[in-house]
Amino acid sequence: MAKIKKGYRIEKDSLGEVYVPKKALYGAQTQRAVENFPISGIKMDFPFTNSFVDTLGLIKDAAARANKKLGLLTSRKATAISRASKEVWQSKHNKEFPLDVFQTGSGTSSNMNANEVIANLAYKLNGIQIDPNDEVNMSQSSNDVIPTAIKVSAYKDLTEKLYPALEKLIKEIEKKEIAFKGLIKTGRTHLMDAMPLEISQELSAWSSQLKNVKKTLVFLEKRLLEMPLGGTAVGTGINAHPRFAKTFAKELSVLTGGKCKAISSENFFHELSSQDTAVQVSGELKNLAVTLMKISNDLRWMNSGPLAGISDIELKAIQPGSSIMPGKVNPVIPEAVSMACADVIGNDVTITVAAQSGNFQLNVMLPVIAYNLLKSINILSGSMNVLSKKAIKTFKVNHKNLELSLSKNPILVTALNPIIGYEKAAAIAKKAYKENRPIIDVAAEETNISKTKLSKLLDPSKLAKGGI
């Protein structure tokens, strides 16, 4: 036996002896992975969420309970595993998960990390020897544990973080819709002046987009709740009790207080070899990112100026905008949100490429899928919280600029098309633009229509309602 290094203990696995930090709850296989994958420094205990590590604890707890019910684990050992697992899913031992995201593609290292921590913790708490492979991992394989962890952690972060942030943003937009009802502005297509509309109508497009995203994500929840656990190594369920999968799903639902209404998957071969659910969820998160970028860019454009831009609105000044230009204030919130959204779009590309690595019976890029999917959910949640609180809630309308741009908007002549024809209307619009005059004055000179009637025909509030 090798001489023990100071501050270390010696543990064994199937490959031999390994030096493990003396105080660490993990064991030999985790330590090998720590030494094998010093790649990014990004740990599976992600900086933006505890949900993945927590979920590993939940899975081990529910599995132990299921194995006990099926007569595969003694009550004494099952209780010890459950007690230790609970501390993991309560985020009490996150520092014991030191592995890099870029590790074995199945996530075997992370699964064994959880098995070893729980086994050693069970001994520490209960004085009971528990085997990490034979007992904590009973009826399981890394190949079904990690896909299950991806689904459950994504579901938790969607329902607990993203949905509340999304609903908050929608409500703030809808409040603005009510506040600005009837307030008319110049529309813009191709960044050029277009027919008028209400600001509330413009904002309704934002809330409608966000509501559609929510509908799609809620639909995809069903897929997230179909558990791969029970397929074990290749989908056949080898070394698992025939009723283990359904029993596990029930126990998981109980442990989450019914919040995660898990069911057993109908096809384990599908669940282990494919990550199409992650691709679908990520795709809709990308759609949400695109929507938020559209809202952010609209805010930036509408706020541009204050003298040489559009300046329809004024975003609240929350910090100085320039290190050299005194008094300059920039739209920092929409900018930050747009950057976060760009990251989400990139995450979706990573997930798409990773999902292509479903070779035969197993996808071999599971950890990076977990990382990018949960990252997207969490930074979108944070982005929406910031956007709703520090941009949507606080922006004001520049009434003078709205009125000025409307009075000089030559495109209002579009309303005269049915009366005087397109060609005549175009000539009036060009003259008004060239002479920088109100369209009503030029139209009165170039047609036989009275100013009174023109006022009615060219009334922006009427035009915003559409029709002939």
User: 246-278 pLDDT, tens per residue?
Assistant: 999 999 999 999 999 999 999 999 999 999 999
User: Residue 4's pLDDT band (boundaries 50, 70, 90)?
Assistant: confident
pLDDT higher than threshold 80 for residue 9: yes
Assign domain 8-138 to its CATH superfamily.
Answer: Fumarase/aspartase (N-terminal domain) (1.10.275.10)
Residue 413 CA, chain-centre distance (Å), reads: 44
How many angstroms separate the CA atoms of 450 and 185, rounded? 25
Cα torsion through 151, 363, 369, 251, rounded to 10: 20
* Per-residue pLDDT at 410: 87
- Would you tell me how many other CB atoms lie within 10 Å of the CB of residue 456? 12
* Per-residue pLDDT at 464: 92
User: 142-201 pLDDT, tens per residue?
Assistant: 999 999 999 999 999 999 999 999 999 999 999 999 999 999 999 999 999 999 999 999
Q: For residues 314-322, give the mean pLDDT.
A: 91
| Catalytic center residues | 190, 322
Report whether 294 contacts 337 (CB < 8 A).
Answer: no
Return the domain boundaries, the chain. 8-138, 145-184+198-398, 408-463
Q: What token pair was written down for 327?
A: 């008094």
* Per-residue pLDDT at 103: 98
Round the average pLDDT of the chain to a whole number and report it: 96
Query: How far lies 166's CA from each of 41, 210, 276, in Å?
Result: 31, 7, 24
Residue with tokens 């890099």: 100
Q: For residues 42-55, give the mean pLDDT.
A: 97
Backbone dihedral region for residue 7 (phi beyond 0: left; psi -120 to 50: alpha; all else: beta): left
User: 352-410 pLDDT, tens per residue?
Assistant: 999 999 999 999 999 999 999 999 999 999 999 999 999 999 999 999 999 999 988 88
pLDDT higher than threshold 90 for residue 327: no
**Cis status of the peptide bond prior to 306, with omega within 30 of 0:** yes
Query: How far lies 215's CA from each of 1, 209, 258, 335, 388, in Å?
Result: 61, 10, 21, 27, 20
User: 27-36 pLDDT, tens per residue?
Assistant: 999 999 999 9
Q: Does the domain spanning 408-463 belong to CATH 3.40.50.620?
A: no
User: 419-434 pLDDT, tens per residue?
Assistant: 999 999 999 999 998 9
Residues with Cβ < 8 Å from 16, sequence gap 6 or more?
none
* Per-residue pLDDT at 5: 81
How many angstroms separate the CA atoms of 329 and 92, rounded? 43
- Topology, domain 145-184+198-398: Fumarase C; Chain A, domain 2 (1.20.200)
Query: How far lies 151's CA from each of 155, 192, 393, 413, 423, in Å?
Result: 6, 45, 34, 55, 60
pLDDT higher than threshold 80 for residue 1: no
* Per-residue pLDDT at 2: 55
Query: pTM of the full predicted structure?
Result: 0.95
How many angstroms separate the CA atoms of 298 and 292, rounded? 10
